[in-house]
Each structure stands twice: as structure tokens, then as C-alpha cells.
């Protein structure tokens, strides 16, 4: 009755009806309990279908004062018998079955003892029953992991390696190799199973396991041991819907291809493009990789990475356009010291934006407009720039600082350039500094600007 009282207290039977129901259930076994050995009673408790059998068993162990060693012996025997009877059910890996197994192990105060006894029982399992041996190693690992017993874990890993190389791989038991790997779950310490599956063309079997830690380890293994096998990398990443990793792989491949182009002489490559299409083909390949990378990144909401690939793809597209136009100008693989001269050599404004965005470079627009508009009179370039960014007074002041003295050949360009400055006072001041008195006279006489200029000149000293 003390046992019944303890169980009722542990199960928190708060109402008379629930307490009565539980006592009624226990009393049917009481006559057996009073006559049998405690170990036999505990074994029968564990065989019950009752959901609370583990709590009942734990209370019984506590009440009877059973030793950890005796409980471990019983638990290990129960595990071995259960494995021999129904290995396939354990292989299903249902979370409820794993939960029950952990509860069973925790009946013993020291799960290490259970793990050690399971390892001792390995020799009693016939080699024809490899399923049970694999499951025993998995359960033993669980026992040692509960208490972080590294010595026990190492013993399990050594036994697993021996089993894999001696019996599982030679016997082509590849599904058991996968089960051993995923059951123990120490992927970094068990990469030899990755090797065995890869060597025997069964690597795809791992892709059926939807484990986040497994997918990460698989990709790390491929990057480290199979760096050239991009097809396998993408297959693994696609199987686990790892779009970001696919994008990274495509982007790395594109960057590698660009490095290969950089290692060759650009002048020679571009000169022979009409008879040797290798350069163009290489750039088309890079473009395809960058497009695929951007698509994969966007599917995984990696906006920053997708944008980076899009900008790089625009750069490659522009390079192909320049080559097709017969230009020898190189805009890929630019070093910082090469940026300014390359940008000045670009004929159109939008092309500068493409290059600047690809390299996160801030162009010196004052220098560019000075060279292209003030000196060369390319006002179409200026009109195109106005569509993308405002022409501020500060920008015009920076341009005119570069004009120490205006050659007569570009005087008309400078006057026309000044007309694009919206700030009338800045326009007047810059014209005055460059001795463009016809411009200042016009501003003072024009009905639209004269009143404003007279007020400004009267209100402050002119500098």
C-alpha cells in the first residue's frame, strides 16, 4: 500500500475518482507484486501499454531502492530484446519512439552504466543481425551523450568505424551506413561514411534525410573534399532547398572564371576575338552563372547577395557590348588605380553608372564633366547625366576650379555648360571669375534674372 500511496502522490491524483481509478488498476497487479521479485515486477511494468509506465517504473525503483547497476542490467536487456524483436520499427526513427527510448534510459540514475552494458552485449548479437548491432551503437551513444561521457562516445565511434569498414560497406549495407551516421549524428567525426557512400555511388541516399545539421555537414564535406564537383554541391543544396548555398556556388564559379580571364593578356584576347571566340564564350559563361546565382539568392530572400550578382551581371553584359562594338576597353577585373581612366574612357553616361555600381565606386563627376563636356563639348552626355542625378551648384564650382584659364577653343562649351546651372547667382559668380563678362551682362539685363541679381548684389558683398 505504501507503493500505491507513493504512486498516487507522484501522479497528483487530485480527485477521488481519478485516485480510485488508478488504485483499482494497480490492485489487479498487487497480488502479483507481493509475490514476485522486484526485478520481475519492474520488467512487467515496462511491458505495460499504459502511457505512464515509465513514471510508474521510476516510482517503483525509488520505493524498492533498486541499485543503478541492477536497473541498468534490466534496461540494457530490455533494449537488446526489443531490438532483436523489432529492429525495423526502431529504424523508422519516429520521434515518439526516440522519446520512449530516452525515458527508458533515464530510469537508471547513471545512463553510462546502461551504455557500457549495451557495448558488452554487442558480442551476444549475431553478425547476421547487423540491424540490431547498428541500433545498439546508436542507443549506447545516446546513453553516453546524456552525461557527456566523451570516453564512452569515443568507444562507440571506434566501434562504428570498425563496423562500417569491416561489415557494412563490404556487404553493401548502405542503408545501414546511413542509419548509423544519422542515428549517431556526429557527422564531423564520421566523414568516412560520406567517403564510403561516395566511392560506392550511393551518396544520394543521404539526401532522403531531412536533417538541418546533416545538410550543413554534407555541403561542408563537398566543399572540403570534392571542391570541383559543383554538380553534387548543387544537387545537395537543391534537395534541401538551400537556395542561398546554390547561389554561393554559382557566384564562386563565376568569380573563378573571371580570375582565369584576368590571368591572360587582355590585349591579345580582345584583338583575336573575331577569330578566337574563347574570350566571349568565357564572358557568356560568367554571365549565365551570375544570373543563376542572382535567381537562387532572390528565392531565398538574400537581397544583398542577389543585388551584388545583378550588378556584376550588368558589368559583364556591358563588357560584351563593348567587345561587340570593336572596343578594346577592359572594364572587368579592374584594380582601384585603373577605375578613373576606365570610367573616363566610357562613351556613355549610363555605362559609368554600371561600372560604378559593380565596384561600389564613387566617380569624380566634376572631372568627368570637365573632360567630356567642358573640353570636348559632349552635351548629350550631360543631358543623360541630368536624368540620373541633379546638377548642383557645388558640382559646377568643382568643375570651374579646374579651369585655370579658358582656351578660346572651349569658351563656347563653358558658356553653354553654365546655362545648365540652375542657381543664377552661382552662374553669375562663376562667369565673373572666368572673365565671361558677356554672360554676366546678360544675367543683369535679362528681365527674368535682373531683379534677382540686383537684389543679391546689393544685399551682400560679391565674392
**In-domain check, residue 268:** yes
Q: Is the pLDDT of residue 17 over 50?
A: no
Does residue 371 share a domain with residue 268?
A: no
More confident of the two residues 309 and 49: 309
Share of the chain above pLDDT 90, in %: 46
**Among 310, 331, 363, which residue terminates a domain?**
363
Picking from 60, 75, 163, 65, the residue whose alpha carbon sits closest to that of residue 112 is 75
The string of DSSP letters for 349-368 reads: HHHHHHHHHHHT----HHHH
The DSSP secondary-structure symbol of 273 reads T
Mean predicted confidence (pLDDT) in 288-315: 95
What number of CA atoms fall less than 13 Å from residue 358's CA on the CB side?
25
- 58-76 pLDDT tens trace: 777 776 767 778 777 777 7
Helical ranges in 48-173 per DSSP H: 53-64, 68-85, 87-91, 95-105, 111-120, 130-146, 150-163
Does residue 281 share a domain with residue 176?
A: no
The whole-number pLDDT of residue 31 equals 55
**Among 319, 335, 363, which residue terminates a domain?**
363
The whole-number pLDDT of residue 458 equals 78
Does residue 340 share a domain with residue 256?
A: yes
Grade residue 48 by pLDDT with cuts at 50, 70 and 90: low
**In-domain check, residue 37:** no
Is the sign of the CA dihedral 50, 55, 58, 62 positive or negative?
Answer: negative
- 261-272 pLDDT tens trace: 998 877 655 554
Greatest distance between any 2 Cα atoms in the chain: 124
Locus of grid cell 583575336: 272
CB 55 within 8 A of CB 10: yes
The whole-number pLDDT of residue 230 equals 76
Q: Is the pLDDT of residue 217 over 50?
A: yes
d(Cα 249, Cα 227) in Å, to the nearest integer? 10
Does residue 213 share a domain with residue 200?
A: yes
The whole-number pLDDT of residue 462 equals 54
Grade residue 21 by pLDDT with cuts at 50, 70 and 90: very low
Q: Which domain, by its residues, includes 407?
A: 364-459
**In-domain check, residue 162:** no
- 336-374 pLDDT tens trace: 999 999 999 999 999 999 999 999 999 999 999 999 999
Nearest-10 crossing angle of helices 2-10, 53-64: 130
Mean predicted confidence (pLDDT) in 103-115: 82
CB 403 within 8 A of CB 374: yes
The whole-number pLDDT of residue 70 equals 75
The whole-number pLDDT of residue 15 equals 44
Q: Is the pLDDT of residue 1 over 50?
A: no
**Among 201, 218, 240, which residue terminates a domain?**
240
Mean pLDDT of the chain: 82
Does residue 261 share a domain with residue 336?
A: yes
More confident of the two residues 462 and 358: 358
Using alpha carbons only, how large is the chain's radius of gyration in Å? 40
Is the sign of the CA dihedral 168, 169, 174, 180 positive or negative?
Answer: positive
d(Cα 435, Cα 447) in Å, to the nearest integer? 22
The whole-number pLDDT of residue 274 equals 45
Picking from 391, 398, 328, 315, the residue whose alpha carbon sits closest to that of residue 356 is 315
More confident of the two residues 292 and 121: 292
Q: Is the pLDDT of residue 50 over 70?
A: no
Picking from 10, 73, 14, the residue whose alpha carbon sits closest to that of residue 38 is 73
**In-domain check, residue 233:** yes
Q: How far is CA 17 from CA 12, 13, 51, 118, 366, in A?
A: 12, 9, 19, 42, 91
Grade residue 107 by pLDDT with cuts at 50, 70 and 90: confident
Lowest-confidence region among 6-15, 313-322, 353-362, 428-437: 6-15
**In-domain check, residue 28:** no
**In-domain check, residue 12:** no
Locus of grid cell 522519446: 99
Mean predicted confidence (pLDDT) in 162-171: 95
More confident of the two residues 2 and 354: 354
Grade residue 2 by pLDDT with cuts at 50, 70 and 90: very low
Number of domains in the chain: 3
Grade residue 49 by pLDDT with cuts at 50, 70 and 90: low
The whole-number pLDDT of residue 4 equals 43
Amino acid at each position: 500500500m505504501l507503493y500505491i500511496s507513493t504512486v498516487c502522490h507522484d501522479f497528483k491524483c487530485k480527485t477521488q475518482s481519478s485516485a480510485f481509478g488508478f488504485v483499482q488498476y494497480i490492485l489487479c497487479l498487487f497480488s502479483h507484486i507481493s509475490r514476485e521479485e522486484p526485478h520481475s515486477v519492474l520488467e512487467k511494468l515496462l511491458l505495460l501499454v499504459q502511457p505512464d509506465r515509465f513514471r510508474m517504473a521510476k516510482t517503483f525503483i525509488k520505493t524498492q531502492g533498486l541499485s543503478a547497476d541492477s536497473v541498468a542490467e534490466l534496461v540494457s536487456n530490455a533494449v537488446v530484446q526489443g531490438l532483436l524483436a523489432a529492429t525495423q520499427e526502431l529504424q523508422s526513427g519516429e520521434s515518439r519512439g526516440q522519446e520512449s527510448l530516452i525515458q527508458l534510459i533515464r530510469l537508471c540514475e547513471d545512463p553510462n552504466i546502461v551504455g557500457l552494458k549495451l557495448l558488452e552485449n554487442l558480442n551476444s548479437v549475431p553478425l547476421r543481425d547487423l540491424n540490431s548491432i547498428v541500433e545498439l551503437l546508436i542507443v549506447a551513444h545516446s546513453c553516453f551523450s546524456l552525461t557527456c561521457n566523451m570516453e564512452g562516445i569515443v568507444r562507440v565511434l571506434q566501434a562504428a568505424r570498425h563496423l562500417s569498414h569491416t561489415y557494412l560497406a563490404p556487404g553493401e549495407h548502405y542503408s545501414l551506413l546511413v542509419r548509423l551516421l544519422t542515428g549517431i549524428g556526429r557527422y564531423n567525426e564520421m566523414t568516412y561514411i560520406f567517403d564510403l557512400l561516395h566511392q560506392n555511388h550511393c551518396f544520394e541516399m543521404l539526401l532522403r534525410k531531412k536533417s538541418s545539421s546533416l545538410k550543413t555537414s554534407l555541403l561542408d564535406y563537398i566543399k572540403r573534399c570534392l571542391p570541383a564537383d559543383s554538380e553534387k554541391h548543387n544537387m545537395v543544396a537543391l534537395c534541401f532547398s538551400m537556395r542561398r548555398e546554390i547561389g554561393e556556388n554559382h557566384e564562386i564559379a563565376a568569380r573563378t572564371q573571371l580570375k582565369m580571364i584576368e590571368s591572360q593578356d587582355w590585349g591579345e584576347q580582345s584583338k583575336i576575338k573575331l577569330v578566337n571566340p574563347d574570350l566571349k564564350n568565357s564572358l557568356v559563361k560568367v554571365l549565365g552563372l551570375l544570373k543563376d546565382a542572382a535567381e537562387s539568392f532572390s528565392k531565398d530572400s538574400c537581397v544583398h547577395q542577389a543585388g551584388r550578382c545583378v550588378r556584376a551581371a550588368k558589368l559583364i553584359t556591358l563588357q560584351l557590348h563593348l567587345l561587340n562594338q570593336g572596343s578594346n576597353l577592359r572594364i572587368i577585373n579592374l584594380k582601384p588605380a585603373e577605375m578613373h581612366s576606365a570610367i573616363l574612357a566610357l562613351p556613355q553616361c549610363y555605362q559609368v553608372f554600371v561600372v560604378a555600381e559593380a565596384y561600389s565606386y564613387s566617380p569624380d563627376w566634376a572631372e568627368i564633366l570637365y573632360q567630356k563636356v567642358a573640353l570636348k563639348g559632349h552635351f548629350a552626355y550631360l543631358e543623360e547625366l541630368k536624368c540620373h542625378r541633379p546638377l548642383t551648384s557645388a558640382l559646377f564650382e568643382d568643375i570651374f576650379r579646374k579651369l585655370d584659364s579658358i582656351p578660346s577653343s572651349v569658351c563656347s562649351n563653358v558658356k553653354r555648360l553654365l546655362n545648365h546651372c540652375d542657381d543664377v547667382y552661382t552662374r553669375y559668380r562663376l562667369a565673373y571669375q572666368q572673365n565671361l563678362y558677356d554672360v554676366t551682362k546678360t544675367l543683369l539685363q535679362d528681365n527674368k534674372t535682373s531683379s534677382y541679381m540686383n537684389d543679391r548684389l546689393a544685399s551682400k558683398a560679391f565674392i
